[in-house]
Amino acid sequence: MALVQYDIDKWLEENKKYFVPPICNKLMYKDGQLKTFFVGGPNSRKDFHMEEGEEFFYMLKGDMRLVVYEQNHFRDIKIREGEVFMLPARVPHSPQRIADTIGLVIERERAPNETDLLRYYIDGTDKILYEKWFHCENLEELGPLIKEYFNSEAFKTGKPIPGSLLEDKPIKQDFERKLGDPFSLQKWLDRHEEILDKEGKKKLFDGQYVSRIHVLGKGEHFPDKDFPETFLWQIEGKSAITVDEEAYELLKNQTMLIQAGSRYSIKNEEGNRTLSVVMNPV
């Protein structure tokens, strides 16, 4: 897979036809382990999705609402323009988007033994109406599965089909974790300006996450010892990048996906900032 760079503004303009119904989304990077896509709207839905990996959200334009099932009750999480949010694994969630909005979502490829869940609840309750367990190889698989639900007896009657809901679930839902709140990326950058220029990098999210999401500041940066696939977004300034002895320049608001196994270095001058996303399975 060849190394690919994109200018985000240009890419969004070229693909704007995908960010309205009925599609509302477009993958930027899909051939590797990281699935990086942008989502538009409107998109109001009642289905909930659960997976064994984490999801990263960043709203570029407008606000969205993420409905989650947290600690035995539903919660509305509003992710405003310019805010980022990290969704832990094994938490049912349902994204709600309005027209004229654009958001970035990053999730990872599923391991062969991992299972996803599509779920519907009985209206106005947290009682489960319908579930479909599946191994997700392609994010486009959700569409046909949702159509399958609308043709089901559960949808027609509003009652679960006896014996259709597994007692021993393939995924153990996380009922205990308290989710964090979205926050402004720019305010976070301003607050940690000194650390990023003195120490060179900082985790974007506090708490227990498998994903390695950092903002890279001044200095030279190298991959972790497992040489993971890495998504880069130049937030401020520019960076000089060398990948397997080939030189590149990443300008503000450009992205790059570095393949797993690649040896690379990223050099930032003072004030330059690069978002780095790694999402390996456990």
Show binding-site residues for substrate.
55, 97, 107
CA separation for the pair 6, 15 (Å, rounded): 12
How many whole angstroms separate alpha carbon 129 and alpha carbon 69?
15
Is the Cα torsion angle 255, 261, 267, 271 positive or negative in sign? positive
CA distance 165 to 47: 16
| Positions at the binding site for O2 | 45
Cβ neighbours of residue 52 under 8 Å, at least 6 residues apart?
89, 90, 110, 111, 114, 115, 116, 171, 281
Pair of tokens at residue 10:
């240009």
> What backbone phi and psi angles, to 5 degrees, belong to 63?
-115, 160
Is beta strand 201-203 parallel, antiparallel or unpaired with respect to 25-29?
Answer: unpaired
Known binding residues for Fe cation are: 49, 55, 93
Neighbouring residues of 31: CB distance < 8 A, sequence distance ≥ 6: 1
Residue 214 near residue 233 (C-beta atoms within 8 A): no
CB distance 236 to 230 below 8 Å = no
- Residue list, annotated binding site: 45, 49, 55, 93, 97, 107
3-state secondary structure of 257: strand
3-class secondary structure, 98: coil
Beta strands at 73-79 and 64-70: parallel, antiparallel or unpaired? antiparallel
Rg for the chain, CA atoms, rounded: 20
